[in-house]
Amino acid sequence: MSKKYFGTDGIRGEVGLGSITPEFMLRLGWAAGKVFSGGNNSKVLIGKDTRISGYMFESALEAGLSSAGVDVCLLGPMPTPGIAYLTRTFHAQAGIVISASHNAFQDNGIKFFSGQGEKLDDETEHQIEAQMALSETQMTVVNSSDLGKAYRITDAAGRYIEFCKSTIPSIDLSDMTVVLDCANGATYHIAPNVFKELGATVISLGIEPDGLNINRDAGSTNPENLAKKVLEVGADIGIAFDGDGDRVVMVDHTGRVVDGDEILYVIAADQKQSGRLKGGVVGTLMSNLGMEQALARLDIPFSRANVGDRYVMADLASQGWSLGGESSGHIICLDATTTGDGIVSALQVVSAMILDGKTLAELTCDIRKLPQLMINVRIGAEVNAKTLCESELLVSEVARIDREFNGKGRVLLRPSGTEPLIRVMVEGEDTALVNAYAEELAETVRTALS
């Protein structure tokens, strides 16, 4: 059964429109409270990134949960994976994240974690949506003596910092200079302290959030300034997070950007060498073929899931593996945590550098990435992206390019699960051909929209 509100990564949109309103969040809090209430000790954690609208939605969710008789623990600004960790360690019934991840400040959204610190399953999301339907006419308030109370967890940041450090062996980073780009997002007060406490010399960018500058020309989606800073100061490594801290992109000492595919390879190779790798690696349809080939040379099995961390997680569970991720930098290390975590993933790479005595450039030198181009075509809110991608015109165009590649390239056309976009990806051995085909397919999408 399809869902009315939940997408592939929670609920997301432009503030003030559709579901992203205070009234909706009040009802959502009430609906979630009804689903997660389990007696006198029921509690839900709420954390957020640094968007100005987060305050508004935090208050609305708090009121809804309280009216349903559920206690609320407020974490303040906290990376998404930090909220997952704290939900688990506080034995809460659920965790709520107020964030639109890598989107600009005009957007916001909601993600949920179960009491185990994992993304909600479809059944629970359906239960919340059923309560949402009831909330339109039956949003009753519990007796005053049963109302939920609200608490602020003042040591949330310190708890999560210690957890991040615990995910790697005891190492000394005193000889390492690290440049961090926190995207003016949720990691701004976490990541610098993690690396400083491990002994590194830390130079921080994007640590002055004002509610409006999250992800603006910064972070994992805009690593150019990070690369410049790494070269300027002669740093050993650069690390960029997205607005909510579940993604990471890195820069080696030469200023070259290292994406999620290469990060995944470095972690897999290190775990294979130390005997810690459980099975193989799960990537996505967007994962570069060069990474798959590099893993094969190490005899590491590889599987492709649909794009989206929930699909990577499902594939990991079905195979009994523990390591997977996306090209965007969403890396899942289930041997260390329960969800994608930018800081934890970066620490796995830094640990490999220290223990192997190699630079990041050396650890990635065995990957020969094939030329790949992705073009995002923006669509209107009224457009059904899935139906458009399955139209005769676009299916025919994709098939034509596939035939002309003759087995030496890949074409992927898919709707974004988080933004009003259709993503056009073309990969192959010849850069000029890849670029030409990607532009042709993107233009065909634009034609189909007109």
**pLDDT for res 304:** 96
Q: Please tell me whether residue 366 adopts helix, strand or coil conformation.
A: coil
| Structural domain range at position 40 | 11-154
Q: Across the chain, what does the average pLDDT equal?
A: 95
Residues 150 and 163 in one domain: no
> Measured between alpha carbons, how far is 83 from 394 in angstroms, rounded to an integer?
40
Summarize pLDDT for 390-406 with one digit per residue, the tens.
999 999 999 999 999 98
Query: Span 73-82, mean pLDDT?
Result: 98
Q: Is the pLDDT of residue 1 over 90?
A: no
Q: Is the pLDDT of residue 409 over 90?
A: no
| Listed residues 135, 154, 173: the one ending a domain | 154
Residues 164 and 47 in one domain: no
Percentage of the chain modeled with pLDDT above 90: 90
**pLDDT for res 420:** 86
**pLDDT band at residue 56 using 50, 70 and 90 as cut-offs:** very high
Residues 350 and 223 in one domain: yes
Say which range, 1-5, 78-82, 438-442, has the weakest mean pLDDT.
Answer: 1-5
Q: Is the pLDDT of residue 407 over 70?
A: yes
> Which string of b and e fits 171-190 if b means at least 16 CB within 10 Å?
bebeebbbbbbbbbbbbbbb
List, as one string, the DSSP characters of 85-116.
HHHHHTT-SEEEEE--TTS-TTEEEEEEEETT
Summarize pLDDT for 258-271 with one digit per residue, the tens.
999 999 999 999 99
Residues 6+ away with beta carbon under 8 Å from 148: 33, 42, 43, 65, 66, 67, 68, 69, 70, 71, 72
Residues with a known catalytic role: 101
**pLDDT for res 31:** 97
Residues 442 and 352 in one domain: no
Q: Is the pLDDT of residue 39 over 90?
A: no
Residues 215 and 332 in one domain: yes
Number of domains the chain contains: 3
| Listed residues 342, 363, 384: the one ending a domain | 363
57 within a domain of the structure (yes/no): yes
